[in-house]
Amino acid sequence: MMKKQSSSKKMNPGVYFLINYSVPIIFTILVAFAIPLSKLSANYFVTEIMIRLSRNSFLILALLIPVMAGMGMNFGIVLGAMAGEIGLIFITDWQIVGMPGFLLAILISTPLAIIFGYFAGIVLNRAKGREMVTGFMVSFFMNGIYQLIVLYGMGNIIPILNPSILLPRGYGIRNAISLIGIRQVLDKLIPLKIGGILIPVATFLVITTLCVFIAWFRKTKLGQNMRTVGQDNEVARISGINVERTRILSIVISTVLACYGQIIFLQNIGTMNTYNSHEQVGVFAIAALLVGGASVAKANIPHVFIGVILFHTMFVVSPRAGKELMGQAQLGEYFRVFVSYGVIAFSLALYAWRKRVEKENERKKIMGYRKSILVK
Amino acid sequence: MKEKIKSIINSVGLPRIIIFFFLISLFVLAPFVGVSLDTSLNDVIVRFGMNGLLVLSLMPMVKAGCGLNFGLQLGIIAGLLGALTSIEMEIVGFAGFFTAVGVAIFFAVILGFLYGTLLNKIKGDEMVVATYVGFSSISFMCIMWLILPFKSPNMIWAYGGSGLRTTINTQGYWFHVLTDFLKINIGNHITFPTGTILFFALLTFLVWAFFRTKIGSAIIAAGSNPAYAKSCGVSVNKMRIVSVILSTVIAAIGIIVYQESFGFIQLYTAPLYMAFPAIAALLLGGASTEKASIKNVIIGVFLFQGILTMTPSVINNIIQSDMSETIRIIVSNGMIVYALTRRIERAR
Amino acid sequence: MRKRIIIRTTLVAVLILIGIFLYTIGQEHKVIIDNKDIIVNGNTYNASTVYKIWVDNQEIGVIEKNGRAVTKVTGVSHKIVIEAISDQALSGEKHERIFKFKSNEGAVINIPAMVNALNEWIDKTN
């Protein structure tokens, strides 16, 4: 007697699309509401978005490679940001300015970023299956180590020449350092003004180069290896790929890119909050990527840019909308933090749920197949 | 003999042993650097009472296989709502305290149920999602604190602003009702907070008894071996929800006890990271992502609060600087990272 | 294997060299220019008139008697040009010097000393 097997839920493609892209869709609706509410001028708007695109894209692009290798959302980019900041502390201390300062910061922080990334990679390898939580906790842990170095070591064991960046007590770096020496040094490298707005041509060129690099990397042997590892560890291992080394490499590359991204970010802003600048880097970058439609298993370049535009629009618009709507800008600020966290929670939950549903369907299929063989 | 030592080190874990000896050495050093031993001991005991319940709340979920409750903040929110309601209604003393607890339990059950249903849909990935659910709910409550219609003048901004203050004083309401209950004064510096410790012991006993009941054992079964539990007719999903509700309720009570002892209700972003010290303490006490017992809770809270109390005072007197915050970050987060990476080793 | 080590060491050496290069050409140095009386070997040289200052072909400004100007320059080698101003106009009396910095140095330049072609026209500070 053959029981009619109910096959996996075949959703009609429209519903499937809605669920898959629920995050960007909800976001677009939210933003569409909030923009007119905030009463911001189009000019201001476009300038802000352009600046934020040039400032943040590099960091978010750094997230793509670990996703390829199946490591999920790399909360460890915070480590790269810290490495970059240490580099910037040194060039500020030595008073190196302009493009040489910028390049020197990159030069010094790269080895540091590699070491941090390597450490993160090793830890993540020992926590297979829960990379994201572990990455998250590692970033907090490293924050403590960073404080140890910057708040206690510098001025003490690590020689600082310029006492103006130290705290009054004689050691430890101040809370905020002016990066005026390298302020907008990359942005202004190729000056272009349209309608009174400065367009950071060089920065965009750098970002484009990174996009080209990532696209090319996908096709290289190492890139292919990473994708195989990302799809299935066992298959990769059988094909002779050193799974552990590939995973570590993906994190190292991501950390180094994040380091550069943070330096690019800070050169645009012009000041560095020594202890706070890197805190929200992970959360905001990941939220932006998820808003752009990426998921834990799949993230590519369009996601990055759509994400930056949507996410940062919300960011810019919320405080003003909050003020117009409820008379308190503070409300808008809390709202945007809530949305950032909420987006991540929602996307991750959605992804986990879908993963389970797919596993269940696979299992049912296999059981159904077995059953049909038995009956025969 | 060497083999035995090695096996103990392996099972207990090197970091825990290091931290234990570190703590002992701090206690030994204390009198030499001018830190009063009895004040420190008193501090540790008081903090034990303050934080114990929050750590205890993590236990049911671990036993049920839901992992470490990174979404502790939901229980905290329930507790905050309870505390605020009790102050709004101007109830003082023990009555105020228990009103707070009652209202908190009400909210905790609802939130716990919703939270548990969500977790059931994402089995295996609970921890990451829980973290962000916790964060986003605290952020959401930040908005709520601004617009909820609370009127008590002790709680809202003084100059006619709207919304609740960031910290609200519990003095005059139920500050120290437990701590001073039956308190024992030993010498000049030690005030043993009998009430708080008794309350903690009472709840611990209740939890211990609960896990000996039928439902309790069903939860343990669901956590350690879901397939077997299912075959015995236990609904794994239902048991998980029960454990989540229990955890949330205990956490809600826990935060009220914390406020009772601390003296302030902290709103807005303060509770954002409160899950981590509790989790670190539990792990320090010997628990893992799959196993947690009452023994772990007690040892963990003692060790963790011990370090938190002793390190600043001793090291500050030696180095003449305040490293407490940094050390706290390194120890608590390092402990969690360590526990997260150990699990795989065991499975191998 | 040996080839790899050689290539890697060379790479590191090159990077270090680049680093030193960037450090040298990118370091900012503070230059103070004084129009004050200066005593050298027991002789006093007085500051007389107002001077206009250029550093690296950039106009810094005008320094009155007993005045001081401060500026920052980047890199190793720099040129300072001063021209006296009398009766509200440039007099055409120019003086020019080239100065170089080592790492972490600053300089104090004295105009009367410069005008009188003394060796002590510049004082390097750390």
Residue of A nearest to B131 (CA): A345
Strands C58-63 and C50-55: what pairing? antiparallel
The answer, yes or no, to whether A and C have at least 3 beta-carbon pairs within 8 Å is yes
Candidate CATH numbers 1.10.287, 1.20.120, 2.60.40, 2.60.120; the one for domain C29-125 = 2.60.40
pLDDT at A212: 94
Which residue bears the tokens 């001028």?
Answer: A41
Q: Is residue A20 part of a domain?
A: no
Q: What is the pLDDT along chain B (348 residues), one digit of tens a residue?
A: 777 777 777 766 777 777 787 778 777 777 777 777 777 788 888 888 888 999 999 999 988 888 888 889 999 999 998 888 888 888 777 888 888 889 999 999 999 999 999 888 888 778 888 888 999 899 888 888 887 777 777 777 766 566 788 788 777 777 777 666 666 666 666 677 777 888 888 888 999 899 888 888 888 888 888 888 888 877 888 888 999 999 999 999 999 888 888 888 888 888 888 888 898 888 888 888 788 888 889 888 988 888 888 777 777 776 666 677 788 788 788 878 887 777 543 332
Q: Residues for chain A: how many in total?
A: 376
Of B125, B323, B334, Cβ closest to residue A152: B323
Query: Which chain B residue shows the shortest CA-CA distance from A72?
Result: B128
| Contact status, residue B79 vs residue B251, Cβ threshold 8 Å | yes
Rounded-to-5 percentages of helix, strand, coil across chain A: 70, 5, 25
pLDDT of residue A56 exceeding 50? yes
Supply φ then ψ for residue A303, to 5 degrees.
Answer: -55, -40
Flag whether residue A359 sits within 8 Å of chain B, measured between CB atoms.
no
Interface residue of A137, A243, A296, A337 to substitute, partner B, most B CBs within 10 Å: A137
- What's residue A6's pLDDT? 41
CA distance B45 to B196: 10
The pLDDT mean for chain A works out to 84
pLDDT for the residue numbered A262 = 94
Binary contact (A107, C15; C-beta < 8 A): yes
* pLDDT over threshold 80, residue C88: no
The C-alpha atoms of residue B174 and residue B167 are separated, in whole angstroms, by: 15
Q: Kindly state whether residue A12 falls inside one of the protein's structural domains.
A: no
Please report the pLDDT score of residue B232 as a whole number: 81
DSSP three-state, residue C42: coil
Nearest to C18 among A98, A107, A161 (CB): A107
Partner B contacted by A338 (CB < 8 A): yes
pLDDT of residue B113: 92
Rg of chain B (C-alpha set) = 21
When the pLDDT of each residue in chain C is averaged and rounded to a whole number, the result is 85
What integer pLDDT is reported at residue A83 of this predicted model?
94
Residue C51 confidence (pLDDT): 84
Q: Report which of residues A282 and A207 the model is more confident about.
A: A207
Residue A145 domain flag:
yes
**Cβ(A287)–Cβ(A122) under 8 Å?**
no
- Per-residue buried b or exposed e for C55-74, using 16+ beta carbons within 10 Å of the residue's own CB: beeeebeebeeebebebebb
Q: pTM for the whole thing?
A: 0.85
User: Do the chains contact at A356 and B343, CB–CB below 8 Å?
Assistant: no
pLDDT score of B347? 35
Cβ pair A100:C26 closer than 8 A: yes
* Other CB atoms within 10 A of residue A15 CB: 9
> What local confidence, expressed as pLDDT, does residue A305 receive?
92
Give, to the nearest 10 degrees, the angle between helix A329-375 and helix A301-326. Answer: 140
Residues 6+ apart with CB under 8 A from B163: A328, B145, B146, B147, B156, B157
Q: How confident is the model at residue A250 (pLDDT cuts 50, 70, 90)?
A: very high
Q: Which pLDDT does position A207 carry in this prediction?
A: 93
| Local confidence band at A113 (pLDDT 50, 70, 90 cut-offs) | very high
- For residue C26, the chain A residues in CB contact (below 8 A) are 91, 96-101, 103-104
Whether chains B and A touch (3+ CB pairs under 8 A) is answered by: yes
CB within 8 Å: B124 and A337: no
φ/ψ of residue B239, rounded to 5: -65, -40
Name the residue facing B136 among A152, A330, A342 (closest C-beta). A342
- Token representation of residue A275: 């202890």
- Please tell me the distance in Å from C76's CA to the nearest CA on chain A: 12
Decide if C26 and A99 are in contact by the 8 Å CB cutoff.
yes
Mutation test of the interface with chain C: which of A104, A114, A162, choosing the one with the most C Cβ atoms within 10 A? A104
Distance set, CA B187 to CA A363, B180, B190, B217 (Å): 67, 16, 6, 45
Token digits for A258?
Answer: 């994040």
- Which has the closest alpha carbon to A77: A230, A265, A226? A265
Residue A216 has pLDDT above 90, yes or no: yes
Distance set, CA A305 to CA A44, A58, A227, A259, C83 (Å): 19, 10, 22, 19, 55
Report chain A residues whose CB lies below 8 A from the CB of B136.
338, 341-342, 344-345
Any chains having at least 3 CB pairs less than 8 A from chain C are A
How distant is the Cα of A209 from the closest Cα of chain C, in angstroms?
A: 22
Out of A87-96, A288-297, B91-100, pick the least confident: B91-100
C-alpha dist (Å) from residue A180 to A91, A269, B225, C104:
12, 9, 60, 18
Q: What are phi and psi of A272, to 5 degrees?
A: -120, 125
Q: Which of A305, A322, A353, A122 is nearest to A204 (CA)?
A: A305
B217 shares contact with chain A (CB less than 8 Å):
no
Counting the structural domains of chain A, the total is 1
pLDDT of A74 higher than 80: yes
Strands A271-273 and A197-198 turn out to be unpaired
Is C111 a residue whose pLDDT tops 50?
Answer: yes
Token digits of residue B339: 């526990």
In a domain, A4, yes or no: no
Residue C121: in which H helix or E strand, if any?
none
Residue A223 lies in a domain: yes
Q: ∠ CA B174-B179-B180 to the nearest 5 degrees?
A: 85
**Structure tokens belonging to residue A136:** 């998250």
Instruction: Fill in the DSSP letter of residue A154.
Output: B
Distance CA C30, CA A164 (A): 14
Could you tell me the CATH number of the domain that includes residue A44?
Answer: 1.10.3470
Contact C28 A97 (CB under 8 A): yes
* Higher pLDDT, residue A122 or C44: A122
Q: Rounded to whole angstroms, how far apart are CA atoms B240 and B65?
A: 8
Residue B270 DSSP label: G
pLDDT for residue A3 is more than 50: no
Q: Residue B95 — φ and ψ, nearest 5°?
A: -60, -40
Q: How many CB atoms lie within 10 A of CB A317?
A: 24
Q: Which residues contact A115 (CB under 8 A, 6 or more apart)?
A: none
Structure tokens at B152: 């008590």
**CA neighbor of A113 nearest in space, from A231, A252, A285, A301:** A252
User: Does A263 score more than 60 pLDDT?
Assistant: yes
Q: DSSP for C80-100, please give it.
A: EEEEEEETTEEEEEEEEEEEE
* Span of A125-139, A284-298, A318-332 with lowest mean pLDDT: A318-332
- Distance from the Cα of A174 to chain C's closest Cα (Å) equals 21
Domain-embedded: residue A1 = no
* Angstrom distance (rounded) from CA A65 to CA A215: 10
For residues A216-245, average pLDDT: 87
**Nearest CA to CA, how far is A204 from chain B (Å)?**
32
> Residue range A339-355: average pLDDT?
83
> Nearest-CA neighbor of B191 among B200, B202, B179?
B179
Average pLDDT over residues A285-308: 89
- What CA dihedral angle connects A179, A182, A186 and A187, to 10 degrees? 60
ipTM of the complex: 0.83
Mutate to test the interface with B, among A74, A119, A124, A133 (most CBs of B within 10 A): A133
pLDDT higher than threshold 70 for residue C86: yes
Mutation site, C22, C101, C125, C126, interface A, largest A CB count within 10 A = C22
pLDDT digits (tens, 9 = 90+) for C26-50: 888 888 888 888 777 777 777 777 8
Domain range for A265: 27-375
Higher model confidence: residue A129 or residue B99?
A: B99
The two three-digit tokens of residue B60, written as one number: 């049911």
Instruction: Look at residue C40 in the predicted model and tell me its pLDDT.
Output: 76
Q: Is the pLDDT of residue A375 over 70?
A: no
**Strands C43-45 and C38-40, bridge-based pairing:** antiparallel
Q: Could you tell me if A141 lies within 8 Å of chain B, comparing CB atoms?
A: yes
Residue pairs spanning A and B at CB distance below 8 A = 116
Residue A185 to residue B251: CA distance in whole angstroms: 51
A345 close to B (CB below 8 A): yes
Q: Which two tokens stand for residue C17?
A: 């060299």
